[in-house]
Amino acid sequence: MDTFSRSRRVVVTGLGAVTSIGHDVNSFWDSLVSGRSGIDRVTLFDPAQFSSQIGAEVKDWDAAQHMDPKEARRNDRYTHFGYVAARQAVKDAGLDMTKEDGDLVGVIIGSGIGGMFTYESQLRVLAERGPRKVSPFTIPSLIGNMCAGLVAIDLGARGPSFGIVSACATGTHSIGEAAHSIRRGDADVMIAGGSEAAITPFSYASFCSMKAMSTRNGEPHRACRPFDVNRDGFVMGEGAGVLVLESLEHAQARGARIYCELVGYAASCDAYHITSPDPDGKGLSLAMRRALASGGVLPEQVDYINAHGTSTPYNDKFETMSIKRVFGDHARRVAISSTKSMTGHLLGAAGGIESVIAVKTIQTGMIAPTINLEEPDLDCDLDYVPNVARRVNVRVVLSNNLGFGGQNAAIVFRAI
């Protein structure tokens, strides 16, 4: 599989991030390498009746300070995050749309769940005030492609524009498919990533019923502990991560600052179970192998893996097995970390924010740690960069994401 190597090269020129530990890339990155957790008791609703009462919320957030107040009122919280992260990325890239052909600029920003705040609030309106009081903006606000649509409208981007939905693999799929759009010649520039805002009562009740979330409510900052023997479930986060991708030729022609190259991407399916990952790790292994092969990267050339690392008993064990299967002896030499230990699990935005992390790792030579890793699970016996960031010369980064439905996505970035 060498689809990428036979077509246009894709580079990263802009980054945007909105998270619980920073509302922009610089503050987010500083918090991350400092090992700061964004997890605390939920404040967006009263969590007293829920088994899990903690989350990584984007606090002190007023969308009207970042976008037109009228648009803020008409759109969901998940759209706010993605829209703001996209504008940050475009500014960071120095992209001037007055000088671009809008037909060759596209947007793929996905969401795993979509407008949950709108969904729940308008259901309450229906129940309490009747159908005539339901907002006409309800459907446009809650659907999962609206963030991409709003960003495209704002930029005048008339190229490929849509939202991908593949649960927690959404962000990585969005970036990978955006790269394909550039390689095919459908666009010169793509704004791509993921956004999510699902810290709501209905969402929490659903995940709590599945017994998927951590109940370490008395120690929020220590609750998310990937690869630790005492992990007890994931902690939900919210926010967005967005990249500006360009063809190498386009970026060079406009004199853009280039962070790195996106060299490989692949998607696969476990075809096993709607929520549980394949215990043999065959699907994720296939995605990693194909992503590496598509970029002409050998396993031993990978310096760092940003793991999916959800802090659930099954995921961490099976992902470790998959890494061993693909990387062989190099699995014990490559640095691996789960930044979800600090950001929580951003669901459909996970791949977006973790791609930002991958790019920043290459740029800075700093590997963010896996915090709260105090007693490693015997089945999780690789180098997970425990608790303290590490300075390393990083040239190649692989990032993994998995989602309900058996969705797998892997993406590879390389210094240029």
Told to judge if 180 belongs to the known catalytic residues of this protein, a careful annotator would answer no
Told to judge if 345 belongs to the known catalytic residues of this protein, a careful annotator would answer yes
Choosing from 23, 250, 345, 380, the catalytic residue is 345
Query: Measured between alpha carbons, how far is 95 from 85 in angstroms, rounded to an integer?
Result: 14
The alpha-carbon radius of gyration of the chain (Å, integer) is 20
Told to judge if 260 belongs to the known catalytic residues of this protein, a careful annotator would answer no
Strand order of the sheet with strand 396-403?
A: 161-162, 105-110, 189-196, 239-247, 10-18, 260-269, 407-414, 396-403, 304-306, 335-337
Virtual torsion, Cα 178, 242, 365, 397, nearest 10 deg = -30
Choosing from 147, 168, 208, 224, the catalytic residue is 168
The tally of CA atoms less than 13 A away on the side-chain side of residue 34 is 11
Query: Measured between alpha carbons, how far is 170 from 409 in angstroms, rounded to an integer?
Result: 8
Dihedral sign (CA 227, 264, 250, 349): negative
Query: Measured between alpha carbons, how far is 269 from 262 in angstroms, rounded to an integer?
Result: 22
- The angle at the Cα of 213, spanning 208 to 214, to the nearest 5 degrees, equals 125
8 Å CB contact between 238 and 154: no
DSSP 83: H
Query: Measured between alpha carbons, how far is 294 from 267 in angstroms, rounded to an integer?
Result: 11
134: left (phi over 0), alpha (psi -120 to 50) or beta: beta
The catalytic residues are: 168, 308, 345
